[in-house]
Amino acid sequence: MTEREISPLDGRYRAQLAELPVYFSEFALMKTRCEVELAYLEALDRTGLFPALTDDERRRIENARTSFSDNDFARIVEIEREIHHDVKACELFLREKLELVQPNRIHFGLTSADVNNLAYGLLLTRFRDEQQLPRLRSLIEHLVDRVAAWKSVVFPARTHGQPASPTTLGKELAVFLSRLVRQAEQLEAHRFRGKLTGATGTYVAFVSAFPSFDWIAFSEGFVASLGLEPNRCTTQIEDHDTLAEYFAIVSRINNIVADLDRDLWEYLSRGDLRQISVDTEVGSSTMPHKVNPIRFENSEGNVAVSNALLHALSDKLTQSRMQRDLSDTTVKRNIGVALAHSHLAIGQTLRGLERFGVDETVLERAVNSSPEVLGEGYQTILRAAGVDDPYELLRGLTRGERPTLERLRAFVADLPVSDEIKERLRGLSPTGYVGLSETLCEAVLADAKAWLDRA
Active-site positions read 160, 284
CA 55 vs CA 26, 35, 45, 62, 102: distances in Å? 31, 19, 12, 11, 14
The secondary structure element, H or E, covering residue 104 is none
Please, how many CA atoms are within 13 Å of residue 60, restricted to the half-sphere of its CB?
15
Give the Cα separation of 351 and 261 in Å (integer): 11
DSSP string, 167-208: EEHHHHHHHHHHHHHHHHHHHHH---EE----TTSS-HHHHH
Calculate ∠ Cα 198-201-206, nearest 5°: 40
Give the Cα separation of 246 and 411 in Å (integer): 56
Q: Residues 195, 76, 9, 181: what is their CA dihedral angle, to the nearest 10 degrees?
A: 30
**193-194 and 229-230 beta bridge pairing:** parallel
Answer whether 212's CB lies under 8 Å from 110's CB.
no
Closest by CA to 37, choosing from 93, 115, 111, is 115
